[in-house]
Amino acid sequence: MKKRGFHNLGFANIDTERGRRCGFEEVVYAPGKTLDQLKKICELFIRSRKSLLLTRLEETNFEKLRVVLPQLRFNPIARVAFFLPRLAKPANKNSTHVLIISAGTSDMAVSEEARVTLEVLGVKVRKLYDVGVAGIQRLLSNKSKLRRASCIIVVAGMDAALASTVCGLVKSPVIAVPTSCGYGSHFKGLASLLAMLNSCAAGLGVVNIDNGFGAAILAAKILRV
């Protein structure tokens, strides 16, 4: 049932005006939803010709959805499915872009979630993966890339020192994403989160653990301003 500002599917009220209000359509968090619910939500977006982004979608569920919704595309590392009614074009033709930096290969899933989200939004993205401070020469050999970025997303687990290091090297906004990558005393990302929140590098912004999507949305909004 379509109402002013949202569409009632019986089990969910889909916000049909978020794109106009916020600059991006409602994003669907897949865990906790049945396959039939995901199918009906996807059908609504595709029928309405609205951009669709499903986060944390398991590949087995994507394969089942693709049978009835061949328009869906999928990034298996990021666990993100998406539908674009038209090819997303970068919102600008200049050098403005977001640089995504990850500490280690184990952080790649979160980094890729951020990258795919930005690309669906039409934001230019560059990446610099596996440059953690345990081998800091890898980061320092890319200082020109750091300084050319309009906004930087740093994805790191363990002691999360990469975020403070990057923020101390650049003028651009830095968004830190703690990940659940680490051993026992890491407490599934809590140690990284607290380390980032207690950073001595002024102006570092921090999102929730493993929240590559949230970092991407914030970066896109910063660039639009």
CATH number at residue 182: 3.40.50.1970
Is residue 41 within 8 Å of residue 28, measured between CB atoms?
A: yes
Q: Are residues 68 and 151 in the same domain?
A: no
* Residue 108, in any domain of the structure: yes
Q: How far apart are CA 123 and CA 90, in angstroms?
A: 5
- pLDDT confidence band for 5 (50 / 70 / 90): confident
pLDDT at 138 over 80: yes
* Residue 123, in any domain of the structure: yes
Q: Are residues 106 and 179 in the same domain?
A: yes
Output DSSP code: residue 75.
E
Q: Are residues 71 and 103 in the same domain?
A: no
Q: How many domains are there within the chain?
A: 2
Q: Are residues 139 and 181 in the same domain?
A: yes
* Residue 65, in any domain of the structure: yes
Please, is 170 exposed, middle or buried when counting C-beta atoms within 10 Å of its C-beta (0-12, 13-18, 19+)? Answer: middle
pLDDT at 224 over 80: yes
Q: Are residues 107 and 218 in the same domain?
A: yes
What number is the average pLDDT over the span 161-190? Answer: 94
Provide the domain limits for residue 204. 98-224
Q: Are residues 76 and 167 in the same domain?
A: no
* Residue 46, in any domain of the structure: yes
What rounded mean pLDDT belongs to the chain?
Answer: 91
Q: How far apart are CA 204 and CA 89, in angstroms?
A: 29
Q: How far apart are CA 220 and CA 3, in angstroms?
A: 29
| % residues pLDDT > 90 (the chain) | 72
What number is the average pLDDT over the span 41-61? Answer: 90
Q: How far apart are CA 46 and CA 147, in angstroms?
A: 39
Q: Are residues 45 and 125 in the same domain?
A: no
Least confident of 2-6, 31-35, 202-206, 221-225: 2-6
- pLDDT confidence band for 90 (50 / 70 / 90): low
Q: Are residues 72 and 136 in the same domain?
A: no
* Residue 13, in any domain of the structure: yes
Structure tokens at 204: 């570092």
Q: Are residues 42 and 141 in the same domain?
A: no
- pLDDT confidence band for 118 (50 / 70 / 90): very high
Can you list the alpha helix ranges (DSSP code H) found in the chain? 18-22, 35-47, 59-68, 108-120, 137-140, 143-148, 161-167, 190-197, 212-224
pLDDT at 92 over 70: no
Least confident of 45-49, 152-156, 175-179: 45-49
Q: Among 83, 107, 125, where does a domain finish?
A: 83
Q: Among 56, 83, 110, where does a domain finish?
A: 83
According to the model, what pLDDT value does residue 25 have?
86
According to the model, what pLDDT value does residue 77 have?
95
pTM (2 d.p.): 0.89
Q: Among 38, 55, 83, where does a domain finish?
A: 83
Least confident of 4-18, 47-61, 82-96: 82-96
DSSP string for 120-181:
HTT--EEEE-S--GGGTHHHHTTHHHHHH-SEEEEEE-TT-HHHHHHHTT-SS-EEEEE-S-
